[in-house]
Amino acid sequence: MRKEDCIFCKIINGDIPSNTIYENSDFKVIMDASPATKGHVLILPKEHFKDIYDIDAETAGKLFQLASVVARALKEALHCDGLNILQNNGSIAGQTVFHFHMHLIPRYEGDTVTLKWEEHSVEDMDVEKIRQDIRKAL
Ligand code: 5GP
Ligand code: ZN
CA 119 – ligand 1 centroid, Å: 29
Q: What is the dihedral of CA 58, 64, 65, 71, to 10 degrees?
A: 170
Q: Which of 18, 34, 50 has the most ligand 1 atoms within 8 A of CB, as the residue to mutate?
A: 34
| Ligand 1 binding site (Cβ under 6 Å of any ligand atom) | 7, 16, 18, 30-34, 88, 94-97
Cross-strand pairs, 82? 107
Which of 40, 48, 99, 101 is flagged as catalytic?
101
CB 61 within 8 A of CB 137: no
Residues, the chain: 138
Active site residue 101: yes
User: pLDDT for 51-75, tens place per residue?
Assistant: 999 999 999 999 999 999 999 999 9
User: pLDDT for 70-99, tens place per residue?
Assistant: 999 999 999 999 999 999 999 999 999 999
